[in-house]
Amino acid sequence: MQLIKNVLGREVPTEVNGRSVHPFQGIGKFQPQGRKVGAPIPSGANYKSSKVLDSIDAALNKMNLFNGMTISFHHHLRNGDILVNLVVQKLADRGIKDIVLAPSALFPVHEPLVQHIKNGTVSHVLGSMNGPVGRLCSTGGMKKTAILRSHGGRYRAIQDGDLHIDAAFIAAPTADPHGNANGVLGKSACGPLGFALADSLYADQVVIVTDNLVPFPTFPWSIEGGNVDYVVTIDSLGDPQKIVSGTTKITTDPTRLKIASMAAQLVRDSGFIYEQEFSFQAGAGGMSLAFIQYVADYMREKNVVADFVRGGSTKTLTDMLDEGLTKFILDGQSFDLAGVASLRDNPHHIETNPFVSYNYHTKGCFAPRVKASVLGGTEIDLDFNVNVNTHSDGWLLHGIGGFQDAADAEMTIITAPLYRKTNPIVVEKVVTVTAPGESIDAIVTDQGIAINPNRTDLLDRLKDSDLPLVTIEELHEKAIAITGKPAAFQTKDNVVAVIEWRDGTIIDSVKELDV
Amino acid sequence: MQLIKNVLGREVPTEVNGRSVHPFQGIGKFQPQGRKVGAPIPSGANYKSSKVLDSIDAALNKMNLFNGMTISFHHHLRNGDILVNLVVQKLADRGIKDIVLAPSALFPVHEPLVQHIKNGTVSHVLGSMNGPVGRLCSTGGMKKTAILRSHGGRYRAIQDGDLHIDAAFIAAPTADPHGNANGVLGKSACGPLGFALADSLYADQVVIVTDNLVPFPTFPWSIEGGNVDYVVTIDSLGDPQKIVSGTTKITTDPTRLKIASMAAQLVRDSGFIYEQEFSFQAGAGGMSLAFIQYVADYMREKNVVADFVRGGSTKTLTDMLDEGLTKFILDGQSFDLAGVASLRDNPHHIETNPFVSYNYHTKGCFAPRVKASVLGGTEIDLDFNVNVNTHSDGWLLHGIGGFQDAADAEMTIITAPLYRKTNPIVVEKVVTVTAPGESIDAIVTDQGIAINPNRTDLLDRLKDSDLPLVTIEELHEKAIAITGKPAAFQTKDNVVAVIEWRDGTIIDSVKELDV
């Protein structure tokens, strides 16, 4: 594997698993060529009999299965999902080898994959890996190179033909016999099903798996039956408690509350709240929820109504919609039951998918229309590069999620404590670059706020603010004064995973840990 | 042009405008090969500045325009549309020649196209032609062969790569600066925008033209901004009175009421109303509306609730939804203001597009899920072939609309008087085959009902009915006893238009009239 240095000075391969790839060149610099791919042309003549089957085996019996095939799953059921383990086990039972697994993300519940990778059923993963599978990847446990993509990047890769899916298995909380499916109804309701959209449009074979088959037509049809080969019924898609939490909880930790408050004030003092077309995006973590409440307070003060807010949706966000503080929620995934119910019942709570929200290879997606995006990170360095994938000790333990995409906002704010345990958050150089510094505009810590110096416009907006603005170097010094310099770790030469930027270029590599 | 006989004995070309085509082989017999096509891969980097332009000229200045280019339009604004004439005139002013016009349909308002075709600005039409343009085509006035496709067939042709669109101009009653667009809001509201969906997904260049620009996000986004290059604002998209009628009117003509009543009784006596999953499709003509009311009466008698009914939507249909006689309206186009309002406000009134409803090259569309479909026709012959395109004197004056697609229903019923003026409706051989007899199950006339003898199951269902069941031959004899045999007409040898079956094969040709 030949490695070259990309524009950030990161060593990246020019070929991944036999496919030529481009190094990251800076945001917006890489110009794609060619046309989007298309799924095989089907004929309605071959879909005259019922698509409904009463077991996954019945579907597998009808499908084209082969060694080396790429199969895909979505992660809307999160840690409550049973489908990934079930399908891979059944393929293992049939002796299928070298499966390429292309989920939108994996969770700790998918730990059984470790054995499937070790015994050769699964070759490697093209998708985000949380926890045990990432740990295996870090130590060179996969046959080929893993590729991590953002939510938007995954849609792009499928659409552009970089990621060909032979068979998509789509867990659907509700489906009808036609194959129309959604995530807002049924006992396993999870909210949107957008992460499975690209799979349904582009995969050669598409299987809906549902524990709530209803008469045609179910609506919304987040997945359209015209793209679906089989509809499999099973008793349960998983554990509803782990699919969505009952409620998401606002942090009570004073440090995190302080950070949330400062981030909200940053959004206020920058003036965006009081201008036309205000919007923001914040996640479902306790600190993000606190941020949302502080921003909501500022909005109430001056009767501001946001044009839209972006989920993941939570009760904190749906309360804003119900109160009239925002015209719309544009929701990619629901994190609690209030989010699911609002998506189901409120016509101004709109399901989105990575094509409309995040895909960079479109004629524009929503991400750059967001005024303020508040994101977490594992590390941020003096160039404002952010790492959300690896820990400071080199372990690959997290996916990209929507990070790269959400960082396309007008003002992208990282919120983090200055240090966690003995690890500084602001470091000299991040272990892995998930997003380049040019996409990051501010870091808010409990010990001060650093604004990217390239954002002179932002610094100008903030010149009358009483926020504790400091330089990133000051934050770094404060951090290591407390934690000391992070310990070095050893890697071997070989690349076990690459981090794709959302345009398909390679922004960084993850090397095998020498442990 | 080489002509061969297809399975119906109709002479059809093997090549149309340089592209090889297959003869019609019978329903479901042609198996497509290959993969769907894709639009050019765009980069978000090229869509950072505003898409909004204040004139069509401003868009044309930025676009790639060339002689021989294919441009497209949808017909949701029907006879109220101004966009087709406006754009073609502007292209003519710029000296563009040999434009291939690919509208989903044309209406009498588009008569100015006749001059553009005559003077070489427009070469030919790939799409349905109503009225004057069809008349020009009939007499050989186009440079190349016109191709008529059904609504579903048009989507298929675009998706399969048979119809490549260089630039789509999409009239949008409401749009936002991102390019999201719908037809349910604004002064030019027309209902669904589904006929433009394929154009937005597959055309190289996509222009939204709106007279109601609203802040991002407008919802629903029938057209997604991620597929849109430019958003042009103009004062008016056309005449709202002609875009949708204020109200659609039920027939009062005794003959037509009788036919509608008999068709409804046919649906009742066949038993479909009283079985699981009842559904029907009927249009917006006065006789169809009467049919709907008669069926609704039968449903009320036994507390039947349809799983869905298909529009075009009208007040007659939305009243059924409001009364609880159907769970859903699946609506492809709204024909009156009540239809538009219901689509906008009632979450059980669902917008559909030709992909989900009509496209045969899918893994199933909705059309075959409809239990009873009631359609009109110009002629039906002893083999139950139906003609909706040409008159008995050979003039090509009508598009296919959704006829071929809707004929995929479990029971497809043609309603027509036995004769119109001096023309028999039931003829020995139709002038042009729009849909083959194997797709047609019954013809209901004021003088009796003929069931397709191949539908022995249907005849069995009707054995206790008191409906006046006769043979198609009897209907034919009755008709010509009154009208006499239709006069013959002369054609030249050359084919001016072909009729595509919904799978892309050629079901019939239209030859130049010798007048």
Enumerate the residues of chain B whose CB falls inside 8 A of the CB of residue A360: 43-45
* Amino acid (1-letter code) at residue A96: I
Cβ density class B32-57: b for 16+ within 10 Å, e for less: beeebbbbebbbbbebeeebbbeebe
Question: Is the CB of residue A503 less than 8 Å away from at least one CB of chain B?
Answer: yes
In angstroms, rounded to a whole number, what is the distance separating the alpha carbons of residues A175 and A213? 5
- What pLDDT, on the 0 to 100 scale, is given for residue B487? 87
Residue A459 reports pLDDT greater than 80? yes
Least CB–CB distance from B43: residue in A40, A355, A360? A360
Identify the residue whose tokens are 């930025």: B62
Name the residue in chain A with its Cα closest to that of B207: A363
The predicted pLDDT at position B131 comes to 83
Instruction: Give, to the nearest 10 degrees, the angle between helix A286-301 and helix A254-269.
Output: 40
Whether A254-489 and A54-126+163-243 are alike in CATH topology: the answer is yes
- Which CATH class name applies to B65-243? alpha beta
Q: Which residues pair with A207 in a beta bridge?
A: A169, A230
Superfamily, domain A254-489: Glutaconate Coenzyme A-transferase (3.40.1080.10)
Confidence of residue A450 (pLDDT cuts 50, 70, 90): very high
Q: How far apart are CA A483 and CA B40, in angstroms?
A: 51
Q: Which residues contact B276 (CB under 8 A, 6 or more apart)?
A: none
**Cα–chain-centroid distance for residue A119?**
28
Radius of gyration of chain A (CA): 22
Please name the residues between 211 and 250 in chain A that touch chain B, using a CB distance below 8 Å: 215-217, 219, 221, 224-229
B355 interaction partners in chain A (CB closer than 8 Å): 224, 226
Residue A347 dihedral angles phi and psi, to the nearest 5°: -65, -10
Each residue's pLDDT tens digit, B50-60: 999 999 999 99
Chain B contact probe: residue of A199, A227, A363, A438 with most B CBs at under 10 A: A363
Looking at every residue in chain B, the average pLDDT score rounds to 96
pLDDT, position A251: 93
Residues of B in contact with A24 (CB under 8 A): none
CA distance B38 to chain A (A): 4
Say how far apart CA B211 and CA B174 lie, in whole Å. Answer: 7
CB contact under 8 A, B307 and A217: yes
Read off the pLDDT of residues B32-52 as tens digits, 9 standing for 90 and up.
Answer: 999 999 999 999 999 999 999
Q: How far does B231 lie from chain A, in Å, by closest CA?
A: 12
Q: Which of B291, B311, B299 has its CA nearest to residue B275?
A: B299
pLDDT tens for B209-257 read 999 999 999 999 999 999 999 999 999 999 988 998 878 899 999 999 9
Q: Which residue shows structure tokens 């519940």?
A: A109
Greatest Cα pair distance in chain A: 71
Residue B1 in this model has a pLDDT that exceeds 80: no
Chain A residue with the nearest C-alpha to that of B356? A226
The domain spans of chain A are 54-126+163-243, 254-489
The pairing of beta strand A279-282 with beta strand A372-375:
parallel
- Which candidate, A184, A228, A226, A183, places its Cα nearest to that of A207? A228
Mean pLDDT of A449-453: 98
Average pLDDT of every residue of chain A: 96
pLDDT for A130 equals 80
Contacts of A5 (CB under 8 A, 6+ apart): A11, A12, A23
Inter-CA distances, B169 with B8, B172, B176, B210, B458, Å: 37, 9, 16, 10, 45
Q: By the 8 A CB rule, do B17 and B496 touch?
A: no
* Helix/strand/coil (H/E/C) assignment for every residue in B441-494: CEEEECCEEEECCCCHHHHHHCCCCCCCEECHHHHHHHHHHHHCCCCCCCEEEE
Pairing of strands A146-148, A128-129: unpaired
**Mean pLDDT along residues B317-329:** 98
CA angle A459, A461, A462 (to 5 degrees): 65
Q: What percent of chain B has pLDDT above 90?
A: 95
Q: Is A470 helix (H, G, I), strand (E, B) or coil?
A: strand
Q: Please give the pLDDT value at position B443.
A: 98
pLDDT band at B311 (very low <50, low <70, confident <90, very high): confident
Mean per-residue pLDDT for A431-441?
A: 98
With 0-12 / 13-18 / 19 or more C-beta atoms within 10 angstroms meaning exposed / middle / buried, residue B415 is: buried
Q: Measured over all CA atoms, what is the biggest interatomic distance in chain B, rounded to whole angstroms?
A: 71
* Full 3-state SS string of A357-406: HCCCCCCCCCHHHCCEEEECCCEEECCCCEECCECCCCCECCCCCCHHHH
Give contacts of A229 with chain B, Cβ < 8 Å.
363
Question: Is the pTM for the entire model greater than 0.95?
Answer: yes
Whether residues B28 and A45 touch (CB distance < 8 A) is answered with yes
Residue A344 has what pLDDT? 97
Which residues of chain B make contact with A159, given a CB cutoff of 8 A?
A: 38, 41
Task: Return the percentage of chain B with pLDDT > 70, whole number.
Answer: 100
Mark which residues 344-373 of B lie under 8 Å from A by CB.
Answer: 347-348, 350, 355-356, 359-366, 368-369
Phi, psi torsion values for A246, nearest 5 degrees: -60, -50
DSSP code of B218?
A: P
High-pLDDT (> 70) share of chain A, %: 100
Judged by CB atoms closer than 8 Å, whether chains meet at A40 and B27 is answered as no
Q: How many CA atoms lie within 13 A of A271 on its CB side?
A: 11
pLDDT at residue number B104: 96
What digits encode the pLDDT tens for the residues A24-49? 999 999 999 999 999 999 999 999 99
Tally the C-alpha atoms within 13 A of residue A63's C-alpha that lie toward its C-beta: 31
Residues of chain B in contact with residue A365, where contact means CB-CB under 8 angstroms, are 44, 226
Asked if B284 and B335 count as a contact pair (C-beta separation under 8 A), the reply is yes
Confidence of residue B14 (pLDDT cuts 50, 70, 90): very high
Mean pLDDT computed over B4-30: 98
**Chain B from 278 to 337: CB within 8 A of any A CB:** 307-308, 328, 330
Q: Find the residue in A nearest to B224 (Cα).
A: A356
CB-CB neighbours of B421 under 10 Å: 5
| Span A140-199, pLDDT tens digits | 999 999 999 999 999 999 999 999 999 999 999 999 999 999 999 999 999 999 999 999
If you compute the radius of gyration of chain B from its CA atoms, what whole number of angstroms results? 22
Three-state SS for A22-77 is CECCCCCCCCCCCECCCCECCCHHHHCCCCEECCHHHHHHHCCCCCCCEEEECCCC
Query: Is any Cβ of chain A less than 8 angstroms from the Cβ of B277?
Result: yes
- At B154-175, the pLDDT tens digits run 999 999 999 999 999 999 999 9
CATH topology of domain A54-126+163-243: Glutaconate Coenzyme A-transferase (3.40.1080)
Q: What mean pLDDT do residues B123-128 have?
A: 95
CA B245 to chain centre: 18
Q: How far apart are CA B168 and CA A98, in angstroms?
A: 44
Residue B91 has pLDDT above 80, yes or no: yes
Q: How far is CA B4 from CA A163, B15, B18, in A?
A: 43, 11, 16
